[in-house]
Chains A and B, each alone.
Chain A
Amino acid sequence: MLPATRRMASTLPRSQSSAALTFELLGKCSTTRARASILTLPHGKVNLPIFMPVATQASLKGLTPEQLEGTGCRLCLNNTYHLGLKPGQEVLDAVGGAHNFQGWNHNLLTDSGGFQMVSLLKLANVTEEGVRFLSPHDGSPMLLTPEHSMSLQNSIGSDIMMQLDDVLVTTHPDKARMREAMERSVRWLDRCIAAHKYPERQNLFCIIQGGLDLEMRRECCREMVARDTPGIAIGGLSGGEAKDDFCKVVVTCTELLPELKPRYVMGIGYPEDLVVSVALGADMFDCVWPTRTARFGNAITKHGVLNMKREMYAADYGPIEDNCGCPCCRPIEEEGALGITRAFIHHNAAKETVAAHLLTLHNVWYQLNLMGKAKEAIIADRFPAFIKEFFAGLYTDKKDYPSWAVDALRGVGVDLLEASAD
């Protein structure tokens, strides 16, 4: 086998541009399918792989835009369904879009609104026209179409928009319905492309559906790729399926996707899931879990999730995580360090909003830093070692490694259980 660095040097970097996006591949892992790249969007560059925190209602859970910027975040999510209700399209048009509205000068990604329809409104019913649902207020029938979703996302002005898709839980038993949903999502993508008003300044991503049926996923990949959107999402996952099945879907899709487009796996955020998905060839991830769990008093660390409400932290005067570089944890002598202790978080977790804000800062920083470290490791072509270090930090005993992760990584050439070489 040729030395990895030489092989990469001969073929990289390579890039590909569309109207409002440039994807530049910086490096590829010579063992796994992991990639490091730079994505240039209308509001600036972001490094991939990336975790995108979720500012559901145009605010990242108590942080000012400056504090979010301070975590290194340059791309976050807003939810179209929530912004469509509050403040609503008219207000968004009046204030010139969601960037202006929330004082965020970096990139935004919005979902289509369809997922919240289906997950929050039990009476929703999907037809070829769109998502039908009963207004929870007066019970009158309402309809959300791909055209509505595009119009609203155009008003929001997000840098990356998602198509409206027909989302089913991956564990849906009815294969015929699953096929219908997949095919309908393709038809809806065509309607979304036709309805999209500003392709020169907003990127529309397609979403691959098909449940856990790998053949259906492959078919969907071919159809979606043919429509040449600037980026591609793998959707419908993270809905309760087994992790093994999740990994099979991701690995099946990334195999078929064009190399020079970003790949976004929607709705995942546990650190293990991120690291494994990067190894399987995915680039972008989002999840509310890191910020939500912060509000419940949980800190994400390289040794796992710590519940700061436990009595063991009441008199622990150390930082939330040793050697963490976030504003809460970094050494007190450093500029901007806040000197926050576990004891203080324990004192105020679930009691004062300040504790939630501080843990949110820490958790977002952790997630972004994890992906930043993954990128460095990929470029240095030491990503397999990075994966091993990551799992060794989480579990003291290899027997505890989750079997889905071991199996998925073995599939891309990394054996977590082999004795370390050194």
Chain B
Amino acid sequence: MTVDVDIEEPGSSTAMRFEVLKTALKDAAAAARPGRLSFPTRRPIETPNFMGVTSRGCLPHLTPDNVTKYIQASGAYMSLEDFIEKPQQHSSRVPPIYSTPTSSKHPTPLHSFTGMPSFITTILGARRIPAVPSPMGNTNKSISVFTNTGFQPLTTSDYLSAVNTLKPDITIPLSDLTNSNITPNSKRALRMAERTEDWIVDWFNSSSSSSTATFAPVLPISYPMQWEYLTRLSEDYVDNSQLSGLAIYDPSLLPDLPSPLLSLPRLSLSPPTTPHQILSHISLGIDLFTLPFINTISDAGIALNFTFPAPLPSSPSRLLPLGTDISNPSFSKSVTPLSENCKCYSCTTHSKAYVQHLLAAREMLGWTLLQIHNHHVLSEFFSGVRHLLQNGPDEDFEKARNDFLRAYEPDFPAGHAEKPRARGYQYKSVGGGEPKKNKPAWGKLGPDADGNVEGVETPVVPEGKEVEEKGFAEEVKE
């Protein structure tokens, strides 16, 4: 039942293999399909599945040893803009990542520079997900990217040479996106398609024997606006195996794809914000997801606790929450795990009370434990999806999807944990004057407290009558 998209042959661009495990679904336009994506020496990725989203080469709060031990995700998305800043005093330096030596353990410069375990499949794109909109437009030869030191242009040839140097497993060539919520007018949309098509032609003309699989962007504009571009992709680059997959910015376009493109793996770059949306995109035929919401949910102090298929409802009228706000002080004495029956490291080793304490104390380990747990919940969720798709009749998945929709609340609960500090490269002020996200942790305690010199303790200030209630000291009756 195996269908190779890409058979290794001389001149073939990559050793990637993608199999759709149900042949009947191989060329289906808009249907959920189980599959397997594999690269030599990487852990094979059963699809549908998700990739972790990195920041500056790290899965946030997870050191590489913890990734190896506790994270089931087999892939990581990285953005080039995280690595190519030009510090003011050293504006002419070559980004250090380009000269990274490799080793047996870290076979590509991208793995080597970031210390990412070698079983992880890497995807390199130009922009972070989600990308901060640039005040400068794109040009005919470049897009505007947002680095740690500000916006700068990234030309198509720079990007190509970056990919050739860094050797990611998958790359997404540049596309002319606005990264804004406003739908582009038809003139702008047409230019997006034309530029992206020009750049793709250049890309395939210039990229020779790269070991990297190319996933061509499918733009977030209507099919008629980009049919010429999509037709060129299907006619010129599928048969010769230059094109290995598609990067989908709008899953609703999937039913319109030209049939030669249908057998390619489909990576979603339009981040779903809830598991309901994930399921809906799976129904449309997405194979791989990037899910930046995991990182933001963990920072907000939420432990996810949904499963697929959904458990049978105990009381049909009440919707189940998708997650628990662990920062809630009511958990301060709860010795139960973040989520019942969860097998992740955080749940088998630690309690809600401890994570609640870590969040309240703004100890970084709190976010680490939530990241481990939340990645695990998503891994189990996708595993449940694949089990149904692989073993059941096609209707089973749709039925379970509807049950899930009925069982769970439509949105995540609000998290009230104080978040890690956000920096310019993660967050762009729009118009200025936004309030601070967190209350200040430091304050002058007395006339001679001298601020932020190294060696000064972070003051921990008792709240309310807490001191006495907690038995630490008693109030004096004068």
- Chain B binds chain A: yes
Q: Which residues of A contact B (CB under 8 A)?
A: 57-65, 67, 81-82, 84-91, 94-95, 101-103, 113, 116, 119-123, 130-133, 135-138, 140-145, 148, 151-152, 155, 288-289, 292-293, 296, 311, 314-315, 317, 327, 332-333, 336-341, 343-344, 346-348, 351-358, 361
CB–CB B364/A62 < 8 A:
yes
Contacts of A65 in B (CB 8 A): 349
Contacts of A358 in B (CB 8 A): 63
CB–CB A314/B96 < 8 A:
yes
CB–CB A59/B358 < 8 A:
yes
CB–CB B365/A88 < 8 A:
no
Contacts of B60 in A (CB 8 A): 352-354
Known: A57-B460, A152-B472. 16 other contacts (CB 8 A): A81-B460, A87-B353, A88-B471, A94-B353, A95-B333, A121-B445, A135-B462, A137-B461, A142-B476, A148-B471, A151-B471, A317-B101, A351-B425, A352-B60, A354-B58, A361-B63
A421→B57 CA distance, assembly (Å): 50
Partner among B57, B83, B113, B464 whose Cβ is within 8 Å of the Cβ of A137: B464
Residues of chain B in range 146-191 having any CB-CB distance to chain A below 8 Å: 148
Tell me, yes or no, whether B450 is within 8 Å of chain A by CB: no
Contacts of A340 in B (CB 8 A): 64, 115
CB distance from A397 to the nearest CB of B (A): 26
> Can you pick out 23 interface pairs between chain A and chain B where the beta carbons lie within 8 Å of each other?
A57-B357, A58-B358, A59-B358, A59-B363, A62-B365, A62-B368, A65-B349, A67-B66, A85-B472, A86-B357, A89-B471, A91-B332, A91-B357, A101-B353, A137-B463, A148-B471, A314-B93, A317-B100, A332-B103, A340-B64, A344-B115, A351-B56, A357-B61
Contacts of B333 in A (CB 8 A): 90-91, 94-95
Contacts of B368 in A (CB 8 A): 62, 64, 353, 357
A332→B56 CA distance, assembly (Å): 22
Tell me, yes or no, whether B390 is within 8 Å of chain A by CB: no
Partner among A90, A123, A354 whose Cβ is within 8 Å of the Cβ of B63: A354
Residues of chain B in range 432-478 having any CB-CB distance to chain A below 8 Å: 445-446, 448-449, 454-455, 457, 459-476, 478
Contacts of B343 in A (CB 8 A): none
A296→B452 CA distance, assembly (Å): 12
B100: nearest chain-A partner, CB-CB: A317
Say whether, besides A144-B473, A314-B90, A343-B96, A103 and B449 are in contact (CB < 8 Å): no
A137→B56 CA distance, assembly (Å): 40
Tell me, yes or no, whether B307 is within 8 Å of chain A by CB: no
CB–CB B420/A142 < 8 A:
no
Contacts of A355 in B (CB 8 A): 58
CB–CB B66/A64 < 8 A:
yes
Contacts of B63 in A (CB 8 A): 67, 338, 354, 357-358, 361
Contacts of A64 in B (CB 8 A): 66, 345, 365, 368-369
CB–CB B113/A95 < 8 A:
no
A344→B113 CA distance, assembly (Å): 6
Tell me, yes or no, whether B238 is within 8 Å of chain A by CB: no
A332→B467 CA distance, assembly (Å): 49
B73-81, B104-112, B249-257: which lies at the A interface?
B104-112
The 9 closest A-B pairs by CB, nearest first: A88-B470, A122-B446, A84-B472, A62-B364, A89-B471, A315-B96, A354-B58, A144-B473, A141-B476
Q: Number of residue pairs across A and B with beta carbons under 8 Å?
A: 238
Contacts of B112 in A (CB 8 A): 339, 341
Contacts of B455 in A (CB 8 A): 289
Say whether, besides A120-B459, A314-B90, A353 and B420 are in contact (CB < 8 Å): yes
Say whether, besides A95-B351, A292-B454, A344 and B470 are in contact (CB < 8 Å): no
A354: nearest chain-B partner, CB-CB: B58
| Most B-side CB within 10 Å, residue of A152, A155, A347 | A347
Contacts of B113 in A (CB 8 A): 341, 343-344, 347
Say whether, besides A120-B460, A148-B474, A332-B106, A348 and B56 are in contact (CB < 8 Å): yes
Tell me, yes or no, whether B89 is within 8 Å of chain A by CB: yes
Contacts of A87 in B (CB 8 A): 332, 353, 356-357, 360
CB–CB A57/B361 < 8 A:
yes
Tell me, yes or no, whether B55 is within 8 Å of chain A by CB: yes
CB–CB B471/A58 < 8 A:
no
A128→B58 CA distance, assembly (Å): 53
A130→B475 CA distance, assembly (Å): 12
CB distance from B439 to the nearest CB of A (A): 14
A243→B454 CA distance, assembly (Å): 19
CB distance from A370 to the nearest CB of B (A): 21
A147: nearest chain-B partner, CB-CB: B474
CB distance from B475 to the nearest CB of A (A): 6
Contacts of A351 in B (CB 8 A): 56, 148, 423, 425
Partner among B56, B65, B90, B467 whose Cβ is within 8 Å of the Cβ of A336: B65
A120→B474 CA distance, assembly (Å): 18
Tell me, yes or no, whether B388 is within 8 Å of chain A by CB: no
CB–CB A90/B58 < 8 A:
no
A131→B474 CA distance, assembly (Å): 11
CB–CB B96/A88 < 8 A:
no
A239→B115 CA distance, assembly (Å): 40
Say whether, besides A113-B472, A143-B474, A292-B454, A102 and B354 are in contact (CB < 8 Å): yes
A63→B365 CA distance, assembly (Å): 6
Tell me, yes or no, whether B414 is within 8 Å of chain A by CB: no
Partner among B56, B454, B470 whose Cβ is within 8 Å of the Cβ of A347: B56
CB distance from A5 to the nearest CB of B (A): 41
A353→B419 CA distance, assembly (Å): 12
| Most B-side CB within 10 Å, residue of A90, A121, A142 | A142
B82: nearest chain-A partner, CB-CB: A347
A102→B357 CA distance, assembly (Å): 10
A72→B474 CA distance, assembly (Å): 39
Partner among B364, B445, B472 whose Cβ is within 8 Å of the Cβ of A120: B445
Contacts of A82 in B (CB 8 A): 361, 460
A2→B201 CA distance, assembly (Å): 85
CB–CB A86/B148 < 8 A:
no
CB distance from B220 to the nearest CB of A (A): 29
CB distance from A93 to the nearest CB of B (A): 9
CB–CB A141/B349 < 8 A:
no
Say whether, besides A94-B335, A296-B454, A84 and B471 are in contact (CB < 8 Å): yes
User: Contact flags (1/0) for B25-67 with A, using CB distance below 8 Å?
Assistant: 0000000000000000000000000000001111011111110
Partner among B364, B449, B460 whose Cβ is within 8 Å of the Cβ of A357: B364
Residues of chain B in range 98-127 having any CB-CB distance to chain A below 8 Å: 99-101, 103-106, 112-115
Contacts of A58 in B (CB 8 A): 354, 357-358, 363
Tell me, yes or no, whether B318 is within 8 Å of chain A by CB: no
Contacts of A138 in B (CB 8 A): 464-465
CB–CB A85/B56 < 8 A:
no
CB–CB A103/B464 < 8 A:
no
Tell me, yes or no, whether B367 is within 8 Å of chain A by CB: yes
Contacts of A113 in B (CB 8 A): 472
B365: nearest chain-A partner, CB-CB: A59
Partner among B87, B457, B466 whose Cβ is within 8 Å of the Cβ of A88: B466
Partner among B115, B365, B425 whose Cβ is within 8 Å of the Cβ of A339: B115
Tell me, yes or no, whether B350 is within 8 Å of chain A by CB: yes
CB distance from B217 to the nearest CB of A (A): 27
CB–CB B478/A141 < 8 A:
yes
A82→B106 CA distance, assembly (Å): 41
Contacts of B356 in A (CB 8 A): 87
CB distance from B178 to the nearest CB of A (A): 27
CB distance from A83 to the nearest CB of B (A): 9
Contacts of A136 in B (CB 8 A): 461-462
Contacts of A352 in B (CB 8 A): 55-56, 58, 60
User: Contact flags (1/0) for B351-383 with A, using CB distance below 8 Å?
Assistant: 101101110110111111100000000000000
Contacts of A89 in B (CB 8 A): 470-472
B96: nearest chain-A partner, CB-CB: A315
CB–CB B332/A347 < 8 A:
no
B366: nearest chain-A partner, CB-CB: A59
Partner among B57, B445, B448, B472 whose Cβ is within 8 Å of the Cβ of A344: B57
A143→B467 CA distance, assembly (Å): 10
| Most A-side CB within 10 Å, residue of B100, B366, B449 | B100
